[in-house]
Structure 1
Amino acid sequence: MTQKDALPDVVSVGQYLAYRLIEVGGPHVFGLPGDFNLTLLDEMLTVPGIEWVGNTNELNASYAADAYARTGRGIASLVTTYGVGELSAINGIAGAYAEDVPVLQITGMPTTTARTNGALSHHTLVDGDYDHFFRAYKEVTVAGAILRAADASREIDRVLRAALDESKPVYLGIPMDVAAAPVSAAPLRHALRATPSDAVALTDFRGALAEVLAGQTQVTILAGPRVHRRKAEGILEAVAAHPGVRVATQASAKSMLPETHAASLGVYMGQMTPSGATRAAVDEAPLVILAGTVLSDVLTGFYSQAFDLAGAVELGISTARVGAVTFHDVRLEDSLRVLDEVVTGLVLTPAETPEQVWPWRAESDEPGDAPLTQKQLWTEVQQWLPADHIAIADAGTALYGALELQMPEGTDLLAQPIWSSIGYTLPATLGTSLASTRRSVLFIGDGAAQLTAQELATILHRGLHPIIVLINNAGFTIERVIQSPRAVYQGVTPWDWTALPAALAPGIPVVTSQVRTRDDLHRALVEASAATDRAVLIEAHLAADDAPNLLARLGSIVGG
């Protein structure tokens, strides 16, 4: 008997929402309790399969939910209380919007009567207007609703479908009295599905694509993060398997196509592209197919792309463009399938993929007992990084070091280069560790970690075992590279990082070490791989002004 077969005829609104979250891949619910969401939580947690993940604050909950959804599980969710809670989370939801991540923000609200009467309540602005924060969330979500008992189930389904369709965050405000209100369970027996592509538009796109590709001898694709958001990596890999196809990825989609794949060109970032051969292969291609790309500043080397954008084929989440013609209601996963079919019928010249330059694979000539440098750190990480892990790199030094790693088979890189909210990745490690059986490996700077360090407590108390490499360079080196390296605001207060796990999770064994040389780091990483039953924290001490090559290049561009 399935869960749907065992459904009662009537459920509460909170239960209805819980059943839908399980269906769309989000059984873990992040967040914090508050007086306005307690009834909702009590109702949701009666549903078998729902698991509460209490966080240390609402911002961290939003970061964790974002990363949970990025693993491909589906729509992630977090529950906060009205006003003070939801406003703490809004930065994380904005990041999910910028980076196309389907997260459901659930706000427990005062009663419908209080809202209707404009009662002056705590957690409000005491002006009788209960929609201030709903309006704020409209700026960073694609759909939202404040539920009424009369149409709660219909509105829940509408909002969740919008997240499925757009791969963007959505919002539900649930008053206390509505959370426990009874609704029919009948709609739960019918699965929610994303809106399919328009058949006529898809056919028209197929014809236009076949026409523009006719006569091409090779096909060059620049793939972006939206391919991953639509769970279409397998289709992209099928396209890449055709002789004559070459695929570069954006930094936010690094390793989406395995970097050992014969068709892989590596990462493309305009003038910041690590490999000159990769940049030339994309910029000089007679026709570029942009699959799920985002042409933002960092991802294009500050708008330095030189390929013909107007003449390109562009495959978006819900549209496809061939030259000047846009085809609406064409889903990215479907346009990629059409691309695969069209390329199958072409006679292409087998492409010679330029040999990739992986700087961290070059052996360092610095002594192993000398003070640790960025070059030594990333060279050692490159040699050690295992297959089938999730690598996570925070915005800053960590990201720009990790971008030049060659990811081993089955190891992805999770980063947030568009929103670039420092500190995102430590709570994100909680999300990935819950969503995937693969072990997470986090690279984060000390400045970033100080923003969200308390979520390490949740990671440890839940018995999760990530490896954390904390780059201690006494502050914000990415900002030092850009401007005013000696300014007082570039530093952070020193912490005893290796003592932190014991303070946050007394009695829970954690492997900790401080490394100051490459030899130290080598031993610590070997120990980390062996400690599969414990979390690992490696504090790597580096000079404040030392920066990976790619970060130094960014500084020279931005700093003029």
Structure 2
Amino acid sequence: MTPVQETIRLPGTSSPTVPENVTLGEYLFLRISQANPKLRSIFGIPGDFNVDLLEHLYSPVVAGRDIKFIGLCNELNGAYTADGYSRAIGGLSTFISTFGVGELSAINGIAGSFAEFSPVLHIVGTTSLPQRDHAINGSDVRNHHHLIQNKNPLCQPNHDVYKKMIEPISVIQESLDSDLQRNMEKIDRVLVKILQESRPGYLFIPCDITNLIVPSYRLYETPLPLEIQLTTSGVEVLEDVVDAILFRLYKSKNPSLLSDCLTTRFNLQDKLNTLVAKLPSNFVKLFSTNMARNIDESLSNFVGLYFGIGSSSKEVSRQLERNTDFLINLGYFNAETTTAGYSNDFSNIEEYIEINPDYIKVNEHIINIKNPESGKRLFSMGQLLDALLFKLDLNKIENINNNNISYKFFPPTLYEQDNNTDYIPQTKLVDYLNENLQPGDLLVMDTMSFCFALPDIMLPQGVQLLTQNYYGSIGYALPSTFGATMAVNDLGSDRRIILIEGDGAAQMTIQELSSFLKYKEFLPNMPKIFLINNDGYTVERMIKGPTRSYNDINGEWSWTQLLGVFGDKEQKYHSTALLRNVNEFNKYFEFQRQTDNSKLEFIELIAGKYDCPLRFSEMFCKK
């Protein structure tokens, strides 16, 4: 670690002072903490090419900022965990692996973060500079563990062979070297790009350079330029877009705002809330997509979830498609999972504005705000919302006295009592969530049949929905919940955390359940986990092959005993319940009104093998 020397306190912090010179590893972690001041956990798995870097997490300079290392069971789970942490904390997360075997195991999780817009930094410890130099200049062939050999055994291995694999699933990739000044610039460039794009980026760090000494002045003299610096042309385009939106709003008779998931994925929830609060509640109808769920659904002018044929109800669709003359589609995410197979119908809407981080669509005219070659934007969605809020003048709305709110969706009670006591229908869990979700809850859901019941669940104010509906890697949610739980506890929050998990998905990543026990000292607030045990892949059963063996799993797991296997045999830190039918479900929750968040609560629900939400059957199973 760095020797004792003159120290400098970083601006705007109460953390310990920083020496005039630090190691490159210390600089990296301090810069990460500046990129996300809320970050307290860095995830990873040690390997001989990254352990020198990991040592710097224990430096007094870094540890003094309350940053800790959290080790996971495997790299795929680690990538999922970093994704959940990023979403729950609303900022950058970091995952560290060794190269080759580590980075390739994580690549699926990083691809999911790219597809779903999560700002994750993946740091890969690589072979040393002399080893890499020998591959270029050496005469004899030298292969190294974790590094695949050249197809020609008489040629040197390519130390960058894995980098080609991650280029399409990351927004920036930088390799550090012996040029220390340039290394600091590369670190900054990666952090800024990740946050501006809200997508993953990579740093490749040779194992022999993390102890090199660099000056720390950049930490306090050069702030990370996280916000886009507006140019004259950028300001002009921004003003034109704002004027185009306001002109149509002022003239409209029946306007609507539809918020999609990129509004939240770019960390604009507060600005969205401000805009919604400023718009007249009797005049502007509010909708969100199923992947977004980012508008307060208790508001009187919130109509419901709109995504084509998957909308909350036919009347919700009618209110947007047939009873709107001007629509703002904010944070549009182009995917069939948020448009119900592209069944959205805006053909009867006279004026339409679509706002994406990279372009603005005004009716049929597209304004590119991101240069496809340089990757630079003229302005961000956040700057657009700021300008819109600043310039919005309610006195200019010509039809502001119109009362346009005539309908609001409320979910019906779905479970119908019958004599079937063999299992718990998914409709029963839907009704339970509608009755028991509380404001501010964090609801995590894996890719599963129950996801299709989401439109029938009304979320109270401030509930955050965390899913991976688009990329759809089953098994994502359990380690993602661990990351989200770390984030909630790092923030000192007591918000409830609820995970809905399927048995097929859980078997993919179940070992990460042990991390809740391993790091229990950091987790005074634990989640409630509902495990829907329907003996296999029900989504696939309903689409094809309901009795085929390819949709079967080992259904004999003793789920409620797993936390004991993972170390808590006396149930000091968790509780479990196995509920086989509706009667047992009702009796359990009759006595479980108050949740003890200090313990992880694991509830196994025996569900019907072919039972699934009605919406799923209507959308996918009709022949």
Please indicate, yes or no, whether the TM-score normalized by the shorter chain is above 0.5: yes
Cα deviation for residue 116 of structure 1 reads 2.0
Counterpart of 1:206 (choices 238, 242, 249) is 242
Q: Alpha-carbon deviation of 1:45? A: 2.9
Letter in 2 for 1:142: V
* Larger CA deviation: 350-359 vs 489-498: 350-359
Counterpart-to-counterpart distance in 2, 1:86 and 1:381: 38
Checking the alignment, whether the CA contact within 8 Å between 1:467 and 1:528 is kept in structure 2 is: no
Quick check: 1:28 aligned with 2:41? yes
Sort the Cα spacing of 1:184 and 1:501 in 2 relative to 1 into closer, same or farther, 3 A: same
Specify the alignment match of 2:6 in structure 1: none
Q: Is the 8 A contact 1:388 1:410 kept in 2?
A: yes
**1:519 corresponds to which of 583, 588, 592:** 583
Return the match for 1:282 from 309, 320, 329: 320
Pick aligned residue for 1:64 from 69, 78, 81: 81
Helix, strand or coil for the counterpart of 1:139? helix
Corresponding residue number in structure 2 for 1:546: 611
CA–CA distance in structure 2, aligned partners of residues 269 and 514 of structure 1: 36
| More off after superposition, 96-105 vs 528-537 | 528-537
Q: Summarize deviations over 1:96-142 as a string: whole Å, max 9, x none.
A: 11111100010011101111222410001122101121121111000
Kindly indicate whether the alpha-carbon contact (under 8 Å) linking 2:263 and 2:269 is maintained by their aligned counterparts in 1: yes
> Residue type matched to 1:141 in 2?
S
Letter in 2 for 1:257: I
Decide which of 554, 559, 566 is 1:504's aligned counterpart: 566
Deviation for aligned residue 1:354: 1.6
Distance 1:368 1:388 in 2: 35
- Does 2:357 correspond to 1:317? yes
Of 517, 530, 546 in structure 2, the residue corresponding to residue 485 of structure 1 is: 546
Q: Deviations over 1:249-272 (max 9, x none)?
A: 111112x11211122122212111
Gapped runs of 5+ residues in structure 2?
A: 1-8, 136-141, 151-156, 370-377
Q: Secondary structure at the match of 1:392?
A: strand
Q: Any unmatched runs of 5+ in structure 1?
A: none
1:13-412 alignment runs, 5 A limit:
13-25=24-36, 26-46=39-59, 47-48=62-63, 49-118=66-135, 119-127=142-150, 128-150=157-179, 151-189=182-220, 190-196=222-228, 197=230, 198-241=234-277, 242-243=279-280, 244-254=283-293, 256-284=294-322, 285-308=324-347, 312-323=352-363, 324-326=365-367, 328=369, 329-340=378-389, 341-342=391-392, 344=394, 345-347=396-398, 348=400, 349-359=402-412, 361=413, 364-366=416-418, 371-412=423-464
Question: Partner residue of 2:153?
Answer: none
Q: Name the stretch that deviates more: 149-158 or 332-341.
A: 332-341
Aligned partners of 2:448, 2:297: CA distance in 1, in Å?
22
SS at structure 1 position matched to 2:472: coil
Residue 169 of structure 2 aligns to a residue whose secondary structure is coil
CA–CA distance in 1 between the matches of 2:51 and 2:131? 17
Inter-CA distance 212–73: structure 2 relative to 1 (3 Å threshold)? closer
CA distance, structure 1, for counterparts of residue 423 and residue 16 of structure 2: 63
SS of the residue 2:592 aligns to: helix
Moved more, 75-84 or 185-194: 185-194
Verify the 8 A CA contact 2:57 2:68 in the aligned structure 1: no
> 1: CA distance between counterparts of 2:334 and 2:298?
25
Cα distance, 1:332 vs. partner?
0.9
| Structure 1 moving runs of 4+ over 6 Å | none
Alpha carbons 1:221, 1:245 under 8 Å: kept: yes
When residues 402 and 214 of structure 1 are mapped into structure 2, their CA distance, relative to the original with a 3 A threshold, is closer
Bigger mean CA offset, 396-405 vs 287-296: 396-405
* 1:212 alignment partner, SS class: helix
Query: What is the CA–CA distance in structure 2 between the aligned matches of 1:124 and 1:3, rounded to whole Å?
Result: 43
Distance 1:382 1:402 in 2: 10
Instruction: Encode CA deviations 1:203-254: one digit per residue, 9 max, x unaligned.
Output: 2222222333341123212211111122222222233232211221111112
CA contact (8 A) 2:125 2:206 kept: yes
- AA paired with 1:524? Y
Provide the rounded CA distance (Å) in 2 between the counterparts of 1:211 and 1:416.
36
Partner Cα separation in structure 2 for residue 357 and residue 229 of structure 1: 26
Deviations 1:361-400 (A, max 9, x none): 4563336966421222221232222332211111112322
- Assess if the C-alpha contact under 8 Å between 2:499 and 2:529 holds in 1: yes
**Deviations, residues 7-55 of structure 1 (Å, cap 9, x unaligned):** 1121112111111121222331111000000001012331122211110
Instruction: Return the match for 1:420 from 453, 472, 479.
Output: 472
* Deviating more after overlay: 495-504 vs 368-377: 368-377
Partners of 1:462 and 1:72 in 2: how far apart?
A: 18
Match of 1:178, SS state, is coil
Distance 2:619 2:128 in 1: 51
Does the 8 Å contact 1:426/1:449 carry over to 2? yes
Report the counterpart of residue 7 of structure 1 in structure 2.
18
Could you tell me how far 1:403 is from its partner in structure 2?
3.8
CA distance in 1 between counterparts of 2:235 and 2:342 reads 35
Q: Once the 2 structures are TM-superposed, how far is the Cα of residue 327 of structure 1 from its aligned partner?
A: 5.1
1:240–1:246 contact (8 Å) kept in structure 2: no
2:89–2:484 contact (8 Å) kept in structure 1: no
Stretch of structure 1 that moved more, 361-370 or 161-170: 361-370
User: Per the alignment, do residues 477 and 134 of structure 1 end up closer, same or farther by CA in structure 2, a change over 3 Å counting?
Assistant: same
Report SS of the residue matched to 2:55.
helix
Across the two proteins, how many residue pairs are aligned to each other?
556
Contact 2:434–2:457 (Cα < 8 Å) also in 1: yes
Report the AA paired with residue 522 of structure 1.
N
User: Counterpart amino acid of 2:339?
Assistant: T
**Mapped pair 1:536 → 2:601:** yes
Tell me which moved more, 32-41 or 229-238: 229-238
Bigger mean CA deviation after superposition, 501-510 or 538-547:
501-510
Give the secondary structure class of the aligned counterpart of 2:208: helix
RMSD of aligned C-alpha atoms?
2.1
Distance 1:20 1:490, change over 3 A: same
TM-fit CA distance, 1:165: 0.9
Percent identical among aligned pairs is 28
Asked if the contact 1:17/1:44 (under 8 Å) is kept, the reply is: no
Greater Cα radius of gyration, structure 1 or 2: 2
- Alpha-carbon distance between aligned partners in 2 of 1:55 and 1:553, rounded to the nearest angstrom: 40
Offset of 1:548 from its aligned partner? 1.0
Contact 1:209 1:342 in 2 (8 A): no
CA–CA distance in structure 1, aligned partners of residues 161 and 403 of structure 2:
58
Return the alpha-carbon distance in structure 2 between the equivalents of residues 310 and 331 of structure 1: 26
Question: 8 Å contact 1:72–1:229 — kept in the other structure?
Answer: no
